[in-house]
Amino acid sequence: MTRMVNCVKLGKEAPGLERQTYPGDLGKKIFDNVSQEAWQQWMQQQTMLINEYRLSPIDPNHRKMLEGEMEKFFFGGGEGFKPPGQ
C-alpha cells in the first residue's frame, strides 16, 4: 500500500516517498511532508541549479547552498531560484 502524505509543495494529499531521500532533520521533514511528485519537481530544480551555477555536489559549500534552496523550495513558500528570463 502506498504511503500518503499531505504534500506541503502541492497542497494536497499525494503518494509519499518510499524512503528518506535526504539525511538528517531536513530529510525527515521532507519524508514526512513531501510527495513523490514534488520530489521529482525538486530534482529538476536541483539539476537546473547545478547547471546554472556550475555546482559540484561534492563541494561542501555547494551542498549547503543546494540544501538552502531545497528548504526554500519545499517550505519557504516560493519556487526558489529561477534562471533569467523565466
CATH classification number, 4-75, choose in 3.30.70.3460, 1.10.3880.10, 3.40.50.800, 3.10.580.10? 1.10.3880.10
**Nearest to residue 30, comparing CAs of 70, 82, 80?**
70
pTM tops 0.95, yes or no: no
CA 81 – CA 69 distance, rounded (Å): 7
pLDDT digits (tens, 9 = 90+) for 8-65: 999 999 999 999 999 999 999 999 999 999 999 999 999 999 999 999 989 999 999 9
**Domain residue spans in the chain?**
4-75
**Nearest to residue 68, comparing CAs of 22, 1, 36?**
22
